[in-house]
Structure 1
Amino acid sequence: MAELTALAARNAQPREKPYRLAAGRGLYLQVMPNGAKYWRQKYRYLGKAMMIGHGVFPEVSLAQAREACDEARKVLASGVDPSSHRKMAKRALKVQTENSVKAVVTEWYRLHRDEWSETYAERIIHSMENDIFPWLGDRPIGSIEPRDLLVRLQEIQQRGAKETGHRLRRWLSHVFRYAIVKGVAERDPAADLQGALKPIDQNNFPTITEPERIGELLRAIEGYSGTYITRAALKLSPLVFTRPGELRFAEWSEFDLEKGEWLVPGSRLKLRKAQKKVAKPHVVPLSRQAVQILIGLKPLTGAGRYVFPGERTATRPLSENTLNAALHRMGFKGEIVAHGFRHMASTALNEAGWSEDAIERQLAHKDKNFIRATYNKAQYLEERRAMMQAWADYLDKLRVKDVERPTALRKVA
């Protein structure tokens, strides 16, 4: 009898009862009464008649079915039951998938997510998704060696992200320790990399303090050709000088535009985990200029949760690198980053004679003096309102080249 051809398989019509079309070497096509066509292979193992399936025609072609048949015959020739071998391979793949780097990182992340601020949690998962998963995500976590991590983290540092490399090493160390307790890894290869990465530069965040250059920056922001949302975030950043993460995760429910206040939740502040749970919101007085920016933005994003939603999806905030990338494109790479607006404002306000306590409270800095931090509950709110408005007015004058000296920001006694 001639062996089955692809044309014959395609033209095979259903009958009242199932029937087989032989394809050689124990392989056959079983045609069912409902028209379904299944590849089957019969063989003998330890003297017993056995059968293994190779999929459905035409999803699995004749050539593919024959290739699967030959593989099964090789396994059988080695003394192993092809059916048992396939089940073991599927089980091993399932275990590998469940215990992959991506799966264990995700499980660890979900376990600890509520302990972190939104900014910190978003930074962790964003870094894992962009810098670890595409290269190591599908690997069984127990198979990862120190060399695997070193190569990847060095590649990250070579693009200039030294701190990201160190952060990932630290986070992955936590993940591996979790995997050890879970029983899917035997050791923490990330711990072996201490001292193997380039050290982090200890310089402060780059910033601009020269009034003339600040004016140039503000004019560049005013003319920024990117998205309206990014430009609004850039314009608001120097006016509120909060931490970039606090701004990116800002929600409309936190703002009272009539009162001119923004209440940053304690969970988003830079505090220890235990403190976040009891911390009161940080009050940020809004200048008239800041309120106008928000009023202009509200028709665009006010229906959603975030004031500055991401470009790809409104369910997540603006990405961590958006503002820094925009500053780079405007020609200020190396001069200032989004976090640098804080140092810019702090420097100018201190030089102008504003209260150090008011400035530190506005920056949401923790008082280094423990006793003072315990008993000094003053918010300096009225002074901060005046200071924030004076700062906004000063920036306006720098933007239009109306001021040359920081004395224009001098606090009025």
Structure 2
Amino acid sequence: MPRLAKPLSDKEIKQAKPKAAEYGLSDGNGLILRIRPTGSKTWMLNYIRPHVKTRTNFTLGSYPEVSLAQARKKALEARELLAQGIDPKQERDQQAAEQAALVEHTFERVAADWFAIKKESVTEGHANATWNSLSRSLLPAIGKLPIGQINAPLVVKVLRPIEAQGSLETVKRLTQRINEIMTFAVNTGLIHANPLAGIKAAFKTPKKKNMAALSPAELPELMTKVANANIKKVTRCMIHWQLHTMTRPNEAAAARWDEIDEANRLWIIPAERMKMRREHVIPLTDETMALLDTLRPISGHRDYLFPSDKDPNTHTHVQSANMALKRMGLAGRTTAHGLRSLASTTLNEQGFDWDVVEAALAHTDKNQVRSAYNRASYLERRRMMMAWWSKHVVSSITRVMKSPILRTA
């Protein structure tokens, strides 16, 4: 137990003078006024720490800013915590850290930390779209707020105008992304729970729309339109390349010459360019090899198969194929991405193994072991399937056009 001492008085405290060495005046029950040679006077509580049973001092403030009465009150509050087995010094440090976190860890900063990890698992284009959506729709309204102050009513209020515009898909994506950020905040210890877990229920659900795609019977019409369209040669070749290789628009538009293994007739797309962040190997057919021969005089000396008109050192815009298809009168009937659906439907109707078709489309198998096995074992089967597909594409128009691939604008 603390040594009993005569309680201090205000007069005694005021008259206490500094000495050559630091000394203390005891008020009893562990409360001490520490007087330094400089003349400063500091209140301290000397106590035994719970659990570890060692003595330590807990600073309560400086005199006269903290009066004798206030020091006694603070000491009493600290002893009440000790009675509960709580170390008052640790409790104060924890509260200070939590208060600092409220100011330091804003939504924008936490979102940036989350994004630094997120962008490593998605393509560059998807990463840019993700951050742009946050910067446009969320950060201006809540970016500067502490992460602990983000709640469902606040976010609902921010997203209501977007919903009112009919942009339900945008709202859906934003609620998904902000939930990921809040879950990240939970997992990193910044907040105790995610208050936005069920926020999507506050908004209308967007109606699911099937991606516009032509039917297999409409392939000859597509090929005729592409052959007759008033478009640049590079754009025409890119549409053919994407159709024959069954790739996504961004994968085709950014195809590089150093990804082409002509000796083994393969196009090897690195993981960082793929949606699923997994390397994709595509067998090249006679028709796609012919496309490379057509492109070589145009871009063989550059990095990209399909260079941009504005800057040949970069690739053509990922929307070039889409815009060309719209100008052909196919708006609402197909998109560049819809060419993959056309290929998939045709190949499945022709009886090709569904797993082989999925592997050609670079769809991810949830079974990782099976997925790795499929990528290795299906390559030769895919080579045969892709050869059939390329010949089918060409044969769909050879009855009408003599040169479906090499015709220029």
**TM-score, normalised relative to structure 1:** 0.56
CA contact (8 A) 1:301 1:308 kept: yes
Q: For 1:247, which of 236, 252, 263 is the aligned residue?
A: 252
Q: Which residue of 2 aligns with 1:150?
A: 159
Q: Which residue of 1 aligns with 2:341?
A: 343
Amino acid at match of 1:286: L
Matches within 5 A, 1:225-236: 225-236=230-241
- Could you tell me how far apart the structure 2 residues matched to 1:177 and 1:169 are? 12
Structure 1 residues 290 and 149, CA gap change in structure 2 (3 angstroms): farther
SS in 1 for 2:294: helix
Amino acid at match of 2:162: L
Deviation at 1:296, TM superposition (A): 3.0
CA contact (8 A) 1:141 1:184 kept: no
Q: For 2:211, which of 187, 197, 205 is the aligned residue?
A: 205
Matches within 5 A, 1:127-166: 127-129=130-132, 131-134=133-136, 137-139=139-141, 141-143=143-145, 145-151=154-160, 153-154=162-163, 158=166, 162-166=168-172
Q: For 1:167, which of 163, 167, 173 is the aligned residue?
A: 173
Structure 1 residues 199 and 262, CA gap change in structure 2 (3 angstroms): same
Amino acid at match of 1:363: L
Q: Which residue of 2 aligns with 1:289?
A: 287
CA contact (8 A) 1:150 1:193 kept: no
Unaligned runs of 5+ in 2: 1-103, 402-409
Deviation at 1:306, TM superposition (A): 3.8
Matched, 1:126 2:129: yes
Q: Which residue of 2 aligns with 1:263?
A: 268
Deviation at 1:135, TM superposition (A): 5.7
**TM-score, normalised relative to structure 2:** 0.57
- Could you tell me how far apart the structure 2 residues matched to 1:307 and 1:336 are? 24
- Could you tell me how far apart the structure 2 residues matched to 1:132 and 1:169 are? 10
Q: For 1:364, which of 359, 362, 365 is the aligned residue?
A: 362
Deviation at 1:141, TM superposition (A): 1.0
Q: Which residue of 1 aligns with 2:321?
A: 323
Q: Which residue of 1 aligns with 2:116?
A: 110
SS in 2 for 1:283: strand
CA contact (8 A) 1:99 1:140 kept: no
Structure 1 residues 155 and 353, CA gap change in structure 2 (3 angstroms): same
Matches within 5 A, 1:373-412: 373=371, 378-401=376-399
Amino acid at match of 1:253: D
How big is each residue's C-alpha offset from its partner over 1:37-65, in whole Å with a ceiling of 9 and x where there is no partner? Answer: xxxxxxxxxxxxxxxxxxxxxxxxxxxxx
CA contact (8 A) 2:253 2:306 kept: yes
SS in 2 for 1:194: helix
- Could you tell me how far apart the structure 1 residues matched to 2:376 and 2:186 are? 47
Deviation at 1:234, TM superposition (A): 1.5
How big is each residue's C-alpha offset from its partner over 1:264-301, in whole Å with a ceiling of 9 and x where there is no partner? Answer: 22444454xxxx5xx5x432111222223233334444
CA contact (8 A) 1:101 1:136 kept: no
How big is each residue's C-alpha offset from its partner over 1:130-186, in whole Å with a ceiling of 9 and x where there is no partner? Answer: x55356554551458324531453267x36xx4343223322333456678999999
Q: Which residue of 2 aligns with 1:22?
A: none
CA contact (8 A) 2:359 2:374 kept: no
Structure 1 residues 329 and 142, CA gap change in structure 2 (3 angstroms): same
CA contact (8 A) 2:237 2:291 kept: yes
Amino acid at match of 2:357: I
CA contact (8 A) 1:222 1:235 kept: no
- Could you tell me how far apart the structure 2 residues matched to 1:102 and 1:301 are? 42
Deviation at 1:393, TM superposition (A): 2.0
SS in 1 for 2:282: strand
CA contact (8 A) 1:260 1:286 kept: yes
Structure 1 residues 372 and 107, CA gap change in structure 2 (3 angstroms): closer
CA contact (8 A) 2:286 2:387 kept: yes
Q: Taking every aligned residue pair, what percent have the same amino acid on both sides?
A: 28
Amino acid at match of 1:360: E
- Could you tell me how far apart the structure 2 residues matched to 1:101 and 1:139 are? 10
Deviation at 1:317, TM superposition (A): 5.1
Task: Give the paired residue count.
Answer: 294
Q: Which residue of 2 aligns with 1:76?
A: none
Deviation at 1:194, TM superposition (A): 0.9
Q: Which residue of 2 aligns with 1:9?
A: none
- Could you tell me how far apart the structure 1 residues matched to 2:310 and 2:383 are? 36
SS in 2 for 1:263: strand
Unaligned runs of 5+ in 1: 1-97, 404-413
